[in-house]
Amino acid sequence: MNQALRFDYSHACEFIAQHDWDQLAAEVCRAHTQLHLGTGPGSEFRGWLDLPIQLCQPERERIRQAADKIRADSDVLIVIGIGGSYLGAKAALEMLGHHFNNRLPAGRRSGPEIYFVGNNVSSVYLVHLLELLEGKNVSLNVVSKSGTTMEPAIAFRLFRDWMVKKYGQEQARTRIYATTDRKKGALRQLADREGYASFVIPDDVGGRYSILTPVGLLPMAAGGIDIDELLQGAACARERFASPDLDQNPCYQYAAVRNLFYRQGKLIEILVSYEPRFRFFGEWWKQLFAESEGKGGKGLFPVAAEYSADLHSIGQYLQDGQRHLFETVLSVQKSEVDVTIADDPDNLDGLQYLAGKGMEYVRARVLRGAILAHTDGGVPNLLVEIPRMTAYHFGELIYFFEKACAISGYLLGVNPFDQPGVEAYKTNMFALLGRPGFEKRKAELEARIDGNDKNLSDRSGDS
């Protein structure tokens, strides 16, 4: 039987008054009702709640078959997407796979080399990746509900053209996999016309909650991750975190504690890990909470840090800076490997006291030492303990944060499923790039840019 994920807020209790906790319990119960009965804002996007048990076996088998084909005929899989269309898959592959998977010989990898594009506007990145692909067999997985999001659409246009030139129109079609809307959108239209193998993003699941759909599952399966085990972990979390009782639900406890800290004026949450493999999980987590909570002038600012490296950079601020933040620490209780520190009688480095001990022992002591130091310095610490880094526990971890985020949004009084602010930069971007229909806005923006440049020039001249 799998051991369960554990949430520990004992290092934050001194910062929480019991009467505040008791009062918030009723608010959590109301938020639970809003979420499960669909009475809260954004209720049309709650499909992720039941994803762990709703993905039928035939669809899982289609994903596995596509993944098997990719592994059989491809040295490289290119995943094209931005935001929720790629962050979850990349996080899973980095957390559950080999640190240097793309550098391993083919016989030692559990799947093809996997690279992600369409999440930036760097020509250098694209050119360097194309150089890397020379002489290799490639498949593409393009992930977009609409097919018109600019960054991935540009990348898909470039790579589709590259694939056609490399393989010809007919063979290229057999190497392109589209994950998109069921019925509508430019990518759906193209996939149907070209006959691409395609997978559906459910209408009731938003991008940042889509990791347990084919959006995340196809790249994971291609990379050798057991998606059945992952979904089982998420399904168990779904059952475990179903209680509206704050004292019985660790997921809701996390949402409640962070909400109480927000009310105290702690405006920044730092997600901390002691493993480089958690780096892109931090990126996924940042998008989940930033897009869900950051609206209406509200919300915690989510940032991620990697210890112990960041203890030697931002550690000073964390210890002695402004007390407007708290930390959430991710820890794996049992690593799959350990390294023993060698004996050295000369002891020039002064580390002989560690001889014979494992790196995991050092990591655990560094973690506990930092928690105690930061707590003593006035920074509350929350601890999320993952028993082992397996697909099962990854699924459990994903569901823990997704549900906590939804409850947290309702406690905050916002719609945790929309992202109106993201559209503002897109309007300006389309206008400045000359997209038809944005001519008036383009003229306004260019006038502002010219005015700013003139002001800067005048100020420089005065100096």
Concerning whether 295 is annotated as a catalytic residue, the answer is no
pLDDT at 463: 46
Question: Which segments of the chain have a pLDDT < 70?
Answer: 1, 453-454, 456-457, 460-463
* Three-state SS letters, the chain: CCCCCEEECCCCHHHCCHHHHHHHHHHHHHHHHHHHHCCCCCHHHCHHHHHHHHCCHHHHHHHHHHHHHHHHHCCEEEEECCHHHCHHHHHHHHHHCCCCHHHCCHHHCCCCEEEEECCCCCHHHHHHHHHHCCCCCEEEEEECCCCCCHHHHHHHHHHHHHHHHHHCHHHHHCCEEEEECCCCCHHHHHHHHHCCEEEECCCCCCHHHCCCCHHHHHHHHHCCCCHHHHHHHHHHHHHHCCCCCHHHCHHHHHHHHHHHHHHCCCCEEEEEECCHHHHHHHHHHHHHHHHHHCCCCCCCEEEEEECCHHHHCCHHHHHHCCCCEEEEEEEEEECCCCCECCCCCCCCCCCHHHCCCEHHHHHHHHHHHHHHHHHHCCCCEEEEEEEECCHHHHHHHHHHHHHHHHHHHHHHCCCCCCCCCHHHHHHHHHHHHCCCCCHHHHHHHHHHHHHHHHHHHHHHHHC
pLDDT at 4: 94
pLDDT at 443: 83
Environment class of 8 (CB within 10 Å of its CB; exposed 0-12, middle 13-18, buried 19+): middle
CA-nearest of 339, 378, 373 to 359 is 339
Given the residues 94, 151, 275, 291, select the one marked as catalytic: 291
pLDDT at 435: 85
CATH class belonging to 6-42+231-412: alpha beta
Given the residues 426, 439, 446, 454, select the one marked as catalytic: 426
> Would the pTM count as exceeding 0.75?
yes
Q: What is the pLDDT of residues 155-191, one digit of tens each?
A: 999 999 999 999 999 999 999 999 999 999 999 999 9
pLDDT at 453: 66
pLDDT at 19: 95
- Where, residue-wise, is CATH 3.40.50.10490 in the chain? 6-42+231-412, 47-225
CATH class belonging to 47-225: alpha beta
Q: What is the pLDDT of residues 20-50, one digit of tens each?
A: 999 999 999 999 999 999 999 999 999 999 9
Concerning whether 291 is annotated as a catalytic residue, the answer is yes
